[in-house]
Every structure is written in structure tokens, then in C-alpha cells.
Structure 1
């Protein structure tokens, strides 16, 4: 098919005006799939490859040829910032054809929402949380809003493949389509899909359509990549060693860090000068600390301040200021950020991304790398791996630079295998089941138990939940007054349940800490958890503030700006690391291969780690004797299999092994004392792993392992079951234990 000729005239005019010489491979392939089939389509292509246009050019053409009588396209994105960014691009594209584009999220104008309800048409852009709100609060409007919906476009779909938020999104899509009586095609967009077939099945669930995954030649990816290691204090890993040969690829940094308390941050300070960069961290606390340090470097060097900050706890004004600054091609400011700038917001001509320590996932690495190289230049990322010198009497596991090894493993997995984490299937999402039950009752009103079950349990993501489990949940909710029974025997939201459902925080299924707004005069700086007492200091927005007043009723903290440097705290951050990453980390330590992106310190530190690996016997023995009765176990398992192994050793094998004092550095190693030999350890663990046992045995008798937001409202027996059968990777753990006994 000549896709360009098939486009509507206003699309062709837009292409001419934009000065395009030809369509890209992704646009031709997507056009064939959208024009030539009636299937769902998963479009996977590198960042800045034109995926949005690849999807919308044919979609808008079909809408132009046969205008729908309601909203024609529902565009779902995980971030408000991404919606705001795409809003301008879509408006420009649709203006000539008179196709309206409406944003629907917490910061969007109410007048636009009212206009859409009055006259549903065009494209509606929305977050999963706002779609949840729409389903509850505008239930009666859903048929008129979406009765003739043709397409649902899900942007950055990879971010929805491994948690409750993604399953919530697809529950909402199924509920909305049933209510509106529509059967739209689903179009998924992503730059980082590891298993397209598995993602395609996830995209299609409950739609009654198959998923087409267009194939095309995306061209050769070119990266500028470097990875350096720093001890937080002198000496560095290469000091006193012979010259290390370097084999740079493309352009690599050669400058050294200035003498400073933190040489890793000093290195970043030097190499952001005169450039527009993003500096990624793995937590909001670290983001605040790094931004504080970099601003102090500016002050010490008598330079104008050139560092901004962006994370989820900052106020909208701070975040949007950073986004606008990044879009300005003339700006030379750099931004310290978390995953909030990882997704596809167009932030202009970004020259370089830094990553402090290793991200948890290959997907996260690729997304962050993809922020750069958007205007024809190669993507460029500099890893900065930091660690403290091991204590003089440190145990052997502390001698391994885990972040450095993890960073190399992430890069190598993608280069060698194109590995990216697959969707997390097979979970038992009882927290989400509670949420969707309450949402369905809140939006639809009174229902019989059978009617409610037929609406909720038939949603695709609950396919593993039995009717008996659902009965247990409903009886529990009745006992707590979250739902109540009417005189007719129907179910409605109870008085206690109304307090939960009527709060705007109900729309989100991701965990939120109780947060306090931080204010300085009239300015809102952002939010924190656990406010300190009056007179103490807090860190937010890359600065330090003195707390002058805490209003616990209104949850407000009032403060003034002071100088200094203190750690921030926003709540715990969990990592989800795949087993393939740990296995490749073993490979990094076991091989003598050199990696061309490693810089001088990193090369020497890797060699030290490999020497430790070889001398300790870790190469052939996952269990290493540390002296006396102390042992270290290196299972090379991802987060959920590692967690299963900890419990398996304690609960199933503990007595036989004489196991005591098990401490873990998840998911790298665990240390413990035991009374048996290495051979007996392998024999005992293999015998236990070979037996059939109930996964619930790996949950302690009175333990209620609540992880998800609404677990507190779920019966304890279901939380235990969901953890044992849906979180713990018992199969992965069991296979690894049996493999030890074969070697």
C-alpha cells in the first residue's frame, strides 16, 4: 500500500509543511496495519522515531472519511506532562480538519471538559486515574461520550505491563466499552517492549481481537555510552596501578573530576557545563541530595546556578518550569530527575543524560537513554557508579561493586539479546479487585451479588480469581460496612466505603504516602512524608529549608530557605529486578571480556571485583564460606524468586540446616550461620525443593504481607494467598535450588 496517498489531504498537507522528505519505516508499517486490518496494533520503535504520527495519521484519516458521532479516539497516557506535551502536537495536526482535542486530567480547564460533555467529538486525552474518576462521576454520560469510539491509543504501554496500574487501565477500558456498547481497536505505543507477543496479548485482553505487530527496518541504533566508577573518598580504583588501555567508541569523556567531597557529583558538574543535560537518579531522596550538591558546586565556583529539579513530590509549578526550560533549545540548564522525565515528553535538543548508579530495569535504562538524541544525534548516556570504600574488616560480599556490575549487565543484555522485561502475568490482584468492586458499585448503584460478580470477575485481569474468593471478599466488605445490603437484597456502597470512594485519592491504585504540603510564604514547594518538628530542616526542590510551623490538621509545613545539606525522605522505593539481570551479572564477573564503554576507574574496579569473584570460589559455588559458621549465598535470582528463596530456607530448611541470623542484601546475596557442611546444604535444600508443598507454607503463620494500596481492606487469607501464589516466584526459586544439586 502507498500509505502516503491513502492519508487524508490535511495529513498530506501537514507532512509537506513539516518538510518531510519521506515517511519513516514505522509510519509505513503502522499505516499498512491500521488501514489494512481490523485488528489491534502494537507499534514498537525507538524513541523519537515518529510512533505518535505513525498511529494518528491513519486514525485521523479514517475519522475524516467517516466522522464518529461521539469521541472517536481515547488517548491514554501515564503522565499528565505527556498529555500536555502531545496536546500541542495533536492540536496542530487536527486544527485544519476541525477535529477537537480535549485534555481531561486534574490540571486541565473545566470549561474544556464541559464543552466535551455537551458535544462529544474528536480526541480525548486522559490518565488512568482521570478515566476512573470519569467512570464513577459521569457514569450516565459514558454512552453518549463513547458510543461511537473507534480507537483507544495507549502511549508508553510498557509502563503499564508490570503493576496494578496497568491492570486498572485495562479493567477501565473493558468496563467503559461494555457500558458504551462500543468495540474500539486498541493501539499500543512503546519504545521498550522486550516480548512483543506477550505485550500484544496483554493489549488485546478482553477485546475479542488479535494484535498485529508491524515489522520494519528501524535502522541502526548508534549510542554514545560511558560508565565510570567513583569511590566517595580517595583513593580511586585506578590509583597506583599500571596504565589501563581504553578502546573508546565514538566520543567518550576524558576529563577528571575536580577535587571535592563527592568526586562522582563533581564529575557530573564538570561534564554538564555548557550543555543541556538530564541527571537521572533512582529515588526522590537521591535526586534532592544530588541537586543540593550540584548547586553548592555552582556557589563554590562562583558560577550562576544551572541545575533544576523534577520529581513527583514537587509542586506542578516547579515541575512545569523545569519542563519548559528543557524545551528551550537555547537553554544550558540541566535537570536532576527521577522516572517522571523518563517517559516520552519532548524535551528538545538534549545533549546528554547521566544515570547515577544502575536503574532497576533494562526498560528504564532504554527509556532514559532515549531522552537524548532526538534531533538526529546519537543517544548519549554517562553512567556514574558510586560506592563507599569497604570497611577494613568487611565481609567478602561487600567487596563486590553491585551497582557497577548491574549497570554492565543491563547494557549487555540489550546489546547481546535485545532483552527487555516481559509483562508480569499470573498475579492474583486482590487489592485491585477491591478497588474495581467499589468503583463499579459507586458508578452503577445497587446490584445483586450475582450482577456485581458478572461485571467484575469477568474482567480479563481477574481470570485467576475464583468465585469463592470473591464471596470471601464481599462478606468481608459487608462486615466492615464498605458495602451494605438493601431491603431488596441488593448491594450498595456502605457509609464507611463512601468515605473512601468519595476521596479523590481513590482513583489511583498506586501506593501513596500520607503527605504534607511544604510552603514558603505563598509558594508551594511540593510534598513530603513524616514532617520533622519545628526548628528542624527539610530538603525539597533542591534546597534546604528551616521548619517554622507544622499544621497537622491541614497537613501543611511552613518553612524558610536556609543554607546547608541534609538528606530528604519521601517514602520507600521498591525495586523489581528480573532474574535475567542477575544471571548476566554472574556472567560479567565470570568472563574476562572488556566493555568499550567502561572508563578508567570502572575498568580497574571491575578487575578488582573479578579477582574477588575468582578467589572466593563464587564461580563454581553459590555458597561461599566466610569463616567459622558464617556463609554467604549468591543465588543470582531476581527480586521475587530471591524473596521466595529467603522464605524457603528459613521455613522449609531452617531446622535441618541449623540456620540462624539470615540477613539479605536483596537481590544480590544473603548471609547466615548454619551447622551443616556445604554438601549437606545442597542435599537438604534439593530434597525440600523436590517435594510438593503448598506455597502458603512460605508465609509465616501470623504474617499479612500487605504490599498494594488497598490490601488493608482485603481479608487476610486473600492477602496471604495473593502473596504466596501471585508475588513469590516459587517455580524460579525451586529450579535454581535443584540446579545446584546437579553441579
Structure 2
């Protein structure tokens, strides 16, 4: 069909005014599905390809032709900043048609929310957490708000495919549709989907429709990649080469300066860049160091910071500065700027060390390359010099090899991590049980089970396990029985449900607000004593007062450099990434994007790997009774192997001092030789392994936010059957039979 001619006149006018010459493939494909079918749509296309417009142009056309009697489109996004960005874009598009756009999250004012409640219409933009709040606190308004809901658009859907937050989102969608009596179509948007079929099935969960995934000409992706390696102190791997890029360049460096950050400082000058780190602590440390470079060289500050613990005003001011085409600042960021926020014409992104996933790499790369320019990323891989007597595993530059693997997996195979659908989400089950009870008021156990267990997220949860959960919650006062036998939220449960933190299912630390005079800087974990120092917003502050009741810290700005702490950030690395890392170490393949130091360091690693003969084995002798095992398994299969060796094999192997460096290698001492190791381990892996046997005695492995309120028995079961990749581990161990 001619999609352009099918668009509403106000959409065609917007296209003319924007100077578009033709529709892109993604826009024609989306228009065909939305106009010609009644099915769900999964739209996968590269960053800045026009996915948002591709979905909304036909949706808004249908909405203008037949206005809804309630909110017509529910737009769900994982980040408030993404909602703010899309709010401006959608408001401009909808202005001529007088279609209302409302954003609803923790940083927005009540004015727009009250207006929507009085007269529901148009588009509502919301985060999963604010939708949870809406379902609980405005339960009586759900029918009037959504009874004629036509579409649910889920942006950056890939970010919701591998954890409780995504399952929560789809629980809320199903609950909302049942409560409002509506049957909207679903549209998922993403630049990085690894298994479109699985993602499409996930999108359709609880829906009566199938998901269509249109094919179209995506054009050629153009990237500019570079990857350089730095030891944290001299000399560098390629320093003896004439073309070494680590030679002195035109600026002064503070004493003890980190060569990798010096490289970033030099190559961000006069440019607008993003500098990605893998944790908030690292983000703060990098920003502090780069600001010290500015001071040392008598330059104006040109580095800003952006992460989830900063106040909204700090984050938004950084975003606004980046949107200014005249500004040449750079932002040190975490995943908060990984998703599709338009922050202007960025020349390049830097990535410090390797990200955990191919998806993360692609999203970060996609922040650049907008407005017709190729996407550009510079990797900066860092490590300490190995100690003079370091043993073989410590001689490998793991981040460098991991970074190459992530890039090559996408270039060669278009691999991106698939959804994680095999979990037993007992923490989320608690959360949705309490949320449903808080929303609906008194219910019988049967009614509660019929509303909760029928949600698609809980298809693997048995009625018996749900009964155990309810009995435990009654015993612990999270739920009370009424005289009539009904169930209501108990006093202890109310304290949990009534907190604003209940709306989120991702793990949070107890945080203290950091304030300087009237300005809120952000939040930190574990406040220091008065007179101590805290690092936030890229600077160092001295603590003048701590108010534990209000969880507030009052600070003053000082000079200095200290580490920050916001809580642990675990990685989730797929097995295929580790397999690719081994392949890279086994071959002599060259990679055009490697700079001189990185090339030399890769050659050194390959020589070390070859000398250890690891191409043809996975176990090496380190001397005496010490051994190192290289299983090439992802995070959850590696964790299963670690426990399998300790619990099922330790006695026969004489295993002691097992020390993992997850997910790369395991060191241990044992009393048997190499052949005997393979014989014992392979034999044990062929036996039936009860997943619960891999939980240590007296251990209650709490991985998720609400595990503490779940019976220990179910926490152990969820970990054993839903977190540990036992089949992946057993498959790998059985491959070792060839070494016998």
C-alpha cells in the first residue's frame, strides 16, 4: 500500500515541514502492519532509523480518524529521560491534530496528571514503576482511563527481556487490560533484538494476537571503531614501536595520571562525546580524574556526569548541555544514556573496559551516528601490569578479549543476547500478589490466585508453591485473614506496599540524599561520618551533617579524589561471548579496529595462551597441587559449575581452595591428576543432578529485591531452577570426555 498517502493530513504536513524526501523502509513496513492488520508489531531497526515515527505516524492517523473515548495510546519506556525526550517529539507531531500527550513519572508535576484524570484522551507516556503506582493508587480510575485503549507501545523492549522488570511490565499490561476491559494492540521497538521470534512471543504474552515482525531494507550500517589498550602505569605494550599512540601529547598530566584517561582527555578536546563506564562508582572516578586534568591544564571544565543516583536536575542539565550544538562538553555516563535519548550531534562514544553484553555495546554505539554520520566508538581497555611472578590466568587481558568478542559476534553472526524466559520469579510473584491485593482490596485466596497465577509471567509457578507463599505471608503479617476468611494486606505488608520504593522490582540500596545548601546532588549508599568525604556529581564533598532519620547528608565542595560507592553492579555475560573469546585467543585473525597497543597486547595474550596449550584443553597445571580451569561458560552456567565442583566432586578430587574469577577461570588445588579430574567430573555430570543440591547448606541465595519476604524454600528453588544454568554446565562438562 502507499503508506504516505494513507497517513493523516497533519502527519503528511509534519513530514513536509521536516524536509523528508522519502519514507524509510522501517516506516513503510510499520505502516503496512498497523494499517493492514490487527496484529501486534515488533519493529527492530538501528538507532536513529526513525522507529518512533514509524510506529506513531500510522497509530496517530488511526487515532485522529476515530478518536478514543479514553487514553488511546499507552507508551511505556524504561527511563524517565527517554520519556522526556519523546514527549517533546510527540507533542510537536500531535500539536496540529490537537491530540493530547501526557507524561507520567516521578519527576513530572501533578498538573498534567490531574488534567488527564479529569478528561482521559490521547497518549500517556509512563515508566513501569509509575504504571505500578497508577494501578495501586488510582485503581478506581483504571476503567475511565483505559476502557478504549487502542495501542500499547513499548520502547527499548530489549531492555525488558532478561529480568524481573520486564516481567513486571507485562504483568501490569495484562492486569490493566483485564481491569479496563480493553484489548489493545502491542508495538515493541528496539535496535538490538537477538532472537526476534522469541522477543515477538514475549511481546504477545497474555495477548490474543500474534506478533508480526516485518522484513525491510535496513541499508548498510557504517561504523568507525577503534580499540586501544593501556596498562595503568608505564611502559605500554606497544611503547617500543615507532607508531605508538601512547607517546606524549600536547597537555600536562597530573602526577600518577592514568594513561587510558589521558588518552580520553586528549581525544575529547574540541568535541562532543559520551564516555561510558560499567558502574556508577567507575563513572564518578573517571569524571573526577578528567576534571582534574582540566584544572591541571588551566582549561574550563568540559566534563559532565550522568547516572541513576544523580538528582533529576543534574541529569537534565547534562542532557540540555549536550543538545546544544554549540557546546563541546563530554558526559561520563552509565546505562542511563545507553537508551534512545536524542542528545544532539555526538561525534564519538568512548567505552572504558568491555561492556557485559553485545546489546549494551550496540546501544552505546548507537548514541552516535545520528543525522547522517557513521556511528563511532573508541574502546579504552585498561589493566594493571601482571606481577613478575603472575601465573598464566592473570596474563590474559580479559577485558580486551571480551571487547573484541562482543564486536565480532555482531559483525560475523548478528548475535545479540536472547530473552531469559526460563526463570522462576518468586520475588516478582510476591510483588504482584501484594500489588493486586492492595489494588483490589479484600479477596478470597481463590480470587487472588485466579488474578495472579493466570499472568503469563507465572506460567511455571505451581498452585502448591503459590499456596506456600500465601501461608508464609499470613504468618509474617504481610497478609491478614479477615473474619469472613478473605485476605487483605497486613500491617507489615502495608509498610512495604505504601513506600514509593515498592513500585520498582529492581534491587535498590538504602540511599541517602546528598545536599549542598538548597541543591540536591543525588544519592549515595553508606554515608561517611561527619568530616568524611563523599564523591558525587563528578566532584568531592566533605560531610558536614548526617540526618539518619531523613536519610540526608549535607556537604560542602572541596578538592580531591576519592572512590564512590552506590552498590554492586553484577554482569550477565552470555556463554556465546566466552566461546568467542576462546576462538579469538586460538586464531591468528586480525581486527582492523585494534590500535597499536591493543594489537601487541593481543599478540602477547595469544602467545601465552598457545604456550599453555589451552587451544586443546581446559585445565592447566600451575605448579604443585594448583590448577586453573577455563570452562568458557557464561555467568549462570559458570556459577553452576563452580557449585557442582564444590558440592559433587570435591571429595573425590581432593579439591581445596576453589577461587573463581567469574566468568573467566577457576583456580584450585586438588590431589588427583589431569586425567583423573576429567574422569571424575564427566562421570558426575552424567548423573542426575538435583538442582537444589547446588544450594549450599544453610544458604538462602537472595538475588532479587523481594526474596527476603519469600519463604526460604521458594528462594532456594527459584535460584536452583531459575538462575543456575545447570543444563549449559552439564553440556560443557560432557564435552570434556574427549580429554579422557
- Is the TM-score greater than 0.5? yes
Contact 1:257 1:266 in 2 (8 A): no
CA contact (8 A) 1:142 1:176 kept: yes
Alignment of 1:41-120 (within 5 A): 41-120=41-120
Write out per-residue CA displacement over residues 295-353 of structure 1, whole angstroms, 9 at most, x where no aligned residue. 11111111111000000111111111100001111110100000000000000101110
Change (3 A) 1:674 1:241: farther
- Is the Cα contact below 8 Å between 2:74 and 2:149 reproduced in 1? yes
Shift of 1:242: 7.8
Task: Give the alignment partner of residue 542 of structure 2, picking from 535, 546, 550.
Answer: 546
Normalised TM-score (structure 1): 0.98
2:278 matched to 1:282? yes
In structure 2, C-alpha distance between the alignment counterparts of 1:532 and 1:428, rounded to whole Å: 38
* 1:742, distance to aligned residue in structure 2 (A): 2.4
- Does residue 656 of the first structure (1) align with residue 656 of the second (2)? no
Q: More displaced, 530-539 or 454-463?
A: 530-539
Q: Following TM superposition, by how much is the alpha carbon of 1:522 offset from its aligned partner in structure 2, in angstroms?
A: 1.3
Can you give the 5+ residue segments of structure 2 that lack an aligned partner in the other structure? none
Picking from 636, 642, 645, the partner of 1:646 is 642
Preserved contact between residue 529 and residue 569 of structure 1 (Cα < 8 Å): yes
Are the aligned partners of 2:252 and 2:296 in contact in 1 as well (CA < 8 Å)?
A: no
Matches within 5 A, 1:524-673: 524-673=520-669
Match of 2:169 in 1: 169
Cα distance, 1:79 vs. partner?
A: 0.5
Map 1:373-412 to 2 at 5 A: 373-412=369-408
Map 1:96-175 onto structure 2 (within 5 A): 96-175=96-175
1:508 matched to 2:500: no
User: What corresponds to 1:248 in structure 2?
Assistant: none
Note the 1:312-331 alignment, pairs <5 A: 312-331=308-327
Equivalent residue, structure 1, for 2:464: 468
Deviation at 1:256, TM superposition (A): 5.6
Cα separation, 2, equivalents of 1:201 and 1:218: 23
Question: Partner residue of 2:413?
Answer: 417
2:443 counterpart residue number: 447
- Alpha-carbon distance in 2 for matches of 1:399, 1:460: 47
Given that 2:199 and 2:419 are in contact with CA atoms closer than 8 Å, whether structure 1 keeps it comes out as yes
| 1:238 shift after superposition | 1.1
Q: Which residue of the partner structure matches residue 489 of structure 1? A: 485
Q: Is the 8 A contact 2:231 2:237 kept in 1?
A: yes
Mapped partners of 2:243, 2:41: distance in 1: 53
TM (norm. structure 2) is: 0.98
Aligned residues: 736
Give 1:492 shift.
0.5
Is the 2:239–2:246 contact (alpha carbons within 8 Å) kept by the matching residues of 1? no
The root-mean-square deviation of aligned C-alpha atoms, in Å, is 1.2
Q: Judge conservation of contact 1:259–1:266 (CA < 8 Å) in 2.
A: no
Cα shift readout 1:369-425 (whole Å, capped 9, x = no counterpart): 000010100000000001100111112111000000000000000000000000001
Query: Alpha-carbon deviations, 1:238-261, whole Å to 9, x = none?
Result: 1335879xxxxxxx9999686742
Q: In the TM superposition, what is the alpha-carbon distance from 1:521 to its structure 2 partner?
A: 1.3
The aligned residue for residue 299 of structure 1 is 295
Question: Does the 8 Å contact 1:257/1:264 carry over to 2?
Answer: no
1:693: how far off? 2.0
Counterpart contact for 2:251–2:297, Cα < 8 Å: no
Give me the whole-angstrom Cα distance separating, in 1, the residues matched to 2:128 and 2:84. 15
Alpha-carbon displacement from aligned partner over 1:204-234 (angstroms, at most 9, x marks no partner):
0110110000110110001000000000100
The 1:207–1:253 alpha-carbon spacing in structure 2 relative to 1, beyond 3 Å, is farther
Query: 2:685 maps to which residue?
Result: 689
Distance 1:588 1:34, change over 3 A: same
1:710 maps onto 2:680 in alignment: no
Deviations 1:665-724 (A, max 9, x none): 100001000011111111101100001121100001211000100000000000000000
2:270 is the alignment partner of 1:267: no
